[in-house]
């Protein structure tokens, strides 16, 4: 390992090697720009595409194709007038329905307009063929429908017009993402701002920013190739998570490298030698950190939900490309630029550089913790455990369509109007496919299901029957999903019917079930794999067990606080079904990063000074850079709140809060106190555990002056 790192370190830090590295990256980036820009072409944003092939709703899509186009999504057009719709309103709605037929992407004849029972609203259902338009094209079709409906507002006389339903929700979701460019710009701005505050240099932040941007472009090109040729499922969610992860994680690696490089510039007059030493010393921690994150994310391929399954390898690619960029391109750029890149605080060569300042923040924190470490870690753990109780408020059973946005776009307003005047499930029915000879029995069974408002007469074709059921509740609501679950139980009991239940609500229900299964399977595996990575890195068992315990405790505390904030501060309706698993993987993988940065430095110092002294030395030496890295990563994930989507806001808040908790409390207080209390047993059963008996007595508790003097 050491010999490999030495060979790699000599390339970007070499007098000739740095130019070779820059040339190779230029050759790589130029052809990557085109496929990276085409990532949207291979996105699959339809919920049904996220499900495995054996899901019941997926099989219904195949069976229902003989009755209706399988690749259509309903747009529900709602008109309303509080004083009651007029004959002129009805005439306009009929004229609009006729005009809708001419909109490119509309399939068949619109159904309606249908008046509401209270006479205050009209409803027309328009089928949009998503295969002809593409997912992005649904937004264009909805815009065209809106243009028809609002084309002559002066003739409407105050008649309200809104497009909602699945197509309306899809259109507003597409607009919410805004092509991803806005999020990238905000994320980059956050990184630059934090780096400016960290280094107080107007030029240095440009290098990590350019390198992270190059890593993002290269990652998107690789992911495009995998989606196009290897069947990888990607969607809008993949795109925005990839952006913040690459910028955040890559910048973290840059901060660790730059910090060590600046140290070495004070020890070595030749910047090439300084960079080589910096890469050798920081390389193991950076590689271990990236490997932990990448492996944890790659384990998402075990998911049954295709969207989660595709997100894992896509983000793993982003982390690995970010690692490659920050250990090759970034060092080459730093060496080419020279010491002036740190202006105005340019590090100068000093053969005997001073140690850490005795009055530094993290040195003072270490001194405070070292007084009574057992009391500190026990008290901190107790507070975190109390914070986990907030998880009782977690409602990760999916979000209704109208609850998926942080604002009030057209589809939300339209859905609220429709719910006031029409049965909530009208326009988006449950689809039941069965054998033709059992059609009436299936209809009877479906009619008796609580939550089903009415059932249409069966339609029979070629030995198969299609039965449509209208739900009482919003098709994307939890109540509707419970009704689908009851409907399945009822129709499955019809002997010989081979009945299956599908439709929008069934897809959402199957998605929730798959997400629950994925969490139960993947979370334990991630814990085991991360433990093994730590055990190999630290050559110990006790330290990895303690570090894993702190990260899991931090995750629980983060989820507890997040659940309470979502409900009582942001007033969100709940969480997506996949939220706990994704939050867990990101928080555990990224949270263990900072423990790796700290503990690898502690282990390095322990080889010379013993564990207790090394714990304080490691904290004072890495406190600043790890805190900066945590703030950068938290800031990039917080940028997700710029997307007006509840899922983005929730995941961004949870990861940002969790990273700050790990950085400021878990790593600096809890882990440091544990190392001080456990002492040499941290390294059991490695040789370092046995070696400590000759370095310092187990009862030695160093004061701050002796720690700093050892440096």
pLDDT digits (tens, 9 = 90+) for 630-670: 888 888 888 888 888 898 899 999 999 999 999 889 888 89
Nearest to 378 by CA among 545, 535, 549: 549
Tokens of 651: 């995941």
- What whole-number distance in Å separates Cα of residue 468 and Cα of residue 466? 7
Nearest to 224 by CA among 130, 306, 310, 322: 310
Higher-confidence position of 410 and 383: 383
The pLDDT value given to residue 705: 37
- What whole-number distance in Å separates Cα of residue 373 and Cα of residue 673? 5
The pLDDT value given to residue 70: 56
The pLDDT confidence band at residue 404, using thresholds 50, 70 and 90, is confident
Token pair 């050759």 is at which residue?
27
- What whole-number distance in Å separates Cα of residue 128 and Cα of residue 147? 16
- What whole-number distance in Å separates Cα of residue 154 and Cα of residue 292? 61
Contact 589, 598 (CB under 8 A): no
Q: Please compute the mean of the pLDDT values over residues 159-175 and round it to a whole number.
A: 86
The pLDDT confidence band at residue 48, using thresholds 50, 70 and 90, is low
Q: Please compute the mean of the pLDDT values over residues 548-575 and round it to a whole number.
A: 92
Reported as a single tens digit per residue, the pLDDT across 470-500 is 898 888 788 888 999 999 999 999 999 999 9
- What whole-number distance in Å separates Cα of residue 470 and Cα of residue 456? 8
Which residues are registered as beta bridge partners of 430? 469
Position 132 pLDDT exceeds 60: no
The pLDDT value given to residue 560: 95
Q: Please compute the mean of the pLDDT values over residues 687-694 and round it to a whole number.
A: 62
Using alpha carbons only, how large is the chain's radius of gyration in Å? 29
The pTM assigned to this predicted structure is 0.83
Q: Please compute the mean of the pLDDT values over residues 70-90 and round it to a whole number.
A: 86
Other CB atoms closer than 10 Å to residue 99's CB: what's the count?
A: 17
The pLDDT confidence band at residue 194, using thresholds 50, 70 and 90, is confident
- What whole-number distance in Å separates Cα of residue 275 and Cα of residue 257? 9
* ∠ CA 72-434-502, rounded to 5°: 40
Position 247 pLDDT exceeds 50: yes
The pLDDT value given to residue 558: 95
Reported as a single tens digit per residue, the pLDDT across 497-550 is 999 998 888 888 888 888 888 889 999 999 998 888 888 888 889 989 998 899
- What whole-number distance in Å separates Cα of residue 568 and Cα of residue 571? 5
Position 332 pLDDT exceeds 60: yes
- What whole-number distance in Å separates Cα of residue 329 and Cα of residue 332? 5
Residue-averaged pLDDT of the chain: 84
Position 707 pLDDT exceeds 60: no
Higher-confidence position of 280 and 46: 280
- Which 3 state secondary structure label does DSSP give 396? coil
Higher-confidence position of 689 and 438: 438
Nearest to 435 by CA among 465, 411, 414, 405: 465
The pLDDT value given to residue 692: 52
The pLDDT value given to residue 442: 92
Q: What is the phi/psi pair of residue 202, to 5°?
A: -75, -15
Position 136 pLDDT exceeds 80: no
Lowest mean pLDDT among 21-25, 318-322, 327-331, 706-710: 706-710
Which residues are registered as beta bridge partners of 111? 125
Reported as a single tens digit per residue, the pLDDT across 8-17 is 667 888 889 8
Reported as a single tens digit per residue, the pLDDT across 565-615 is 999 999 998 888 888 999 998 888 887 878 888 888 888 888 777 788 888
Position 694 pLDDT exceeds 50: no
- Which 3 state secondary structure label does DSSP give 503? coil
Contact 614, 603 (CB under 8 A): yes
Crossing angle (nearest 10°) for helices 439-447 and 478-492: 140
Position 179 pLDDT exceeds 60: no
Cis check for the bond before 344: say yes or no (omega within 30 of 0): yes
The pLDDT value given to residue 484: 93
HSE, side-chain direction, 13 A CA sphere, residue 269: 1
- What whole-number distance in Å separates Cα of residue 504 and Cα of residue 61? 10
Contact 125, 165 (CB under 8 A): yes
Position 696 pLDDT exceeds 60: no
pLDDT over 70, % of the chain:
91
**CA separation (Å) from 534 to 254, 285, 497, 692?**
22, 11, 54, 21
* ∠ CA 634-635-637, rounded to 5°: 65
Lowest mean pLDDT among 4-18, 50-64, 216-230, 694-708: 694-708
Q: Please compute the mean of the pLDDT values over residues 424-448 and round it to a whole number.
A: 88
Q: Please compute the mean of the pLDDT values over residues 269-289 and round it to a whole number.
A: 87
The pLDDT value given to residue 6: 54
- What whole-number distance in Å separates Cα of residue 320 and Cα of residue 335? 22
């Amino acid at each position: 390992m050491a010999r490999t790192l030495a060979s790699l370190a000599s390339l970007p830090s070499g007098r000739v090697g740095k130019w070779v590295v820059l040339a190779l990256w230029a050759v790589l980036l130029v052809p990557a720009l085109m496929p990276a820009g085409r990532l949207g072409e291979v996105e699959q944003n339809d919920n049904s595409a996220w499900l495995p092939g054996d899901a019941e709703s997926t099989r219904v899509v195949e069976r229902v194709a003989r009755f209706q186009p399988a690749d259509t999504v309903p747009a529900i057009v709602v008109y309303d007038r509080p004083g009651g719709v007029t004959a002129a309103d009805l005439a306009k709605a009929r004229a609009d329905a006729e005009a809708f037929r001419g909109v490119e992407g509309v399939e068949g004849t619109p159904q309606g307009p249908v008046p509401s029972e209270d006479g205050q609203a009209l409803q027309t259902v328009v089928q949009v063929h998503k295969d002809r338009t593409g997912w992005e094209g649904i937004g264009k079709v909805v815009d065209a429908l809106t243009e028809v409906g609002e084309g002559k507002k002066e003739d409407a006389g105050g008649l309200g017009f809104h497009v909602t339903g699945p197509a309306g929700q899809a259109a507003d979701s597409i607009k919410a993402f805004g092509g991803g460019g806005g999020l990238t710009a905000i994320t980059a701005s956050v990184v630059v701002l934090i780096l400016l505050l960290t280094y107080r240099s107007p030029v240095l932040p440009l290098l990590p920013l350019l390198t992270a941007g190059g890593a993002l472009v290269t990652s998107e090109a690789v992911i495009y190739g995998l989606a196009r040729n290897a069947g990888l499922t990607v969607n809008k969610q993949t795109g925005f998570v990839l952006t913040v992860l690459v910028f955040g994680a890559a910048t973290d690696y840059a901060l660790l490298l730059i910090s060590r490089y600046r140290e070495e510039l004070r020890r070595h007059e030749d910047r090439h030698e300084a960079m080589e030493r910096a890469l050798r010393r920081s390389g193991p921690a950076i590689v271990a950190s990236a490997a932990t994150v990448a492996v944890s994310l790659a384990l998402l391929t075990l998911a049954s939900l295709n969207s989660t399954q595709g997100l894992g390898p896509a983000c793993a690619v982003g982390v690995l490309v970010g690692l490659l960029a920050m250990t090759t391109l970034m060092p080459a750029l730093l060496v080419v630029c020279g010491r002036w890149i740190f202006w105005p605080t340019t590090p100068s060569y000093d053969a005997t550089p001073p140690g850490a300042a005795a009055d530094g923040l993290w040195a003072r924190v270490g001194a405070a913790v070292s007084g009574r470490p057992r009391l500190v870690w026990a008290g901190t753990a107790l507070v975190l455990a109390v914070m986990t109780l907030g998880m009782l408020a977690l409602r990760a059973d999916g979000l209704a369509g109208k609850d998926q946005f942080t604002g009030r776009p057209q589809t939300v307003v339209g859905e609220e109007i429709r719910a006031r005047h029409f049965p909530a499930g009208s326009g988006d029915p449950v689809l039941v496919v069965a054998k033709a000879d059992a059609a009436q029995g299936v209809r009877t069974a479906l009619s008796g299901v609580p939550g089903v408002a009415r059932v249409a007469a069966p339609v029979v074709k070629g030995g198969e029957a299609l039965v449509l059921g209208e739900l009482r509740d919003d098709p994307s609501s939890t109540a509707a999903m419970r009704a689908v679950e009851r409907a399945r139980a009822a129709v499955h009991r019809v002997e010989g019917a081979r009945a299956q239940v599908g439709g929008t609500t069934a897809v959402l229900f199957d998605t929730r079930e798959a997400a629950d299964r994925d969490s139960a399977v993947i979370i334990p595996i991630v814990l085991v794999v991360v433990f093994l990575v730590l055990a190999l890195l630290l050559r110990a068992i006790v330290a990895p067990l303690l570090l894993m315990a702190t990260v899991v405790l931090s995750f629980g505390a983060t989820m507890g606080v997040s659940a309470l904030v979502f409900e009582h501060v942001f007033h969100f309706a709940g969480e997506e079904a996949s939220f706990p698993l994704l939050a867990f993987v990101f928080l555990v993988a990224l949270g263990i990063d900072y423990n790796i940065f700290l503990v690898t430095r502690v282990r390095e110092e322990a080889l010379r000074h013993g564990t207790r002294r090394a714990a304080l030395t490691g904290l004072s030496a890495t406190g600043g850079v790890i805190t900066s890295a945590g703030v950068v990563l938290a800031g990039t994930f917080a940028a997700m709140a710029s997307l007006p989507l509840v899922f983005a806001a929730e995941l961004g808040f949870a990861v940002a809060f969790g990273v700050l908790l790990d950085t400021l409390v878990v790593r600096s207080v809890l882990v440091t106190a544990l190392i001080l209390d456990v002492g040499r047993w941290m390294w059991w059963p490695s040789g370092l555990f046995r070696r400590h008996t000759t370095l310092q007595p187990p009862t030695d508790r160093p004061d701050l002056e002796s720690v700093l003097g050892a440096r």
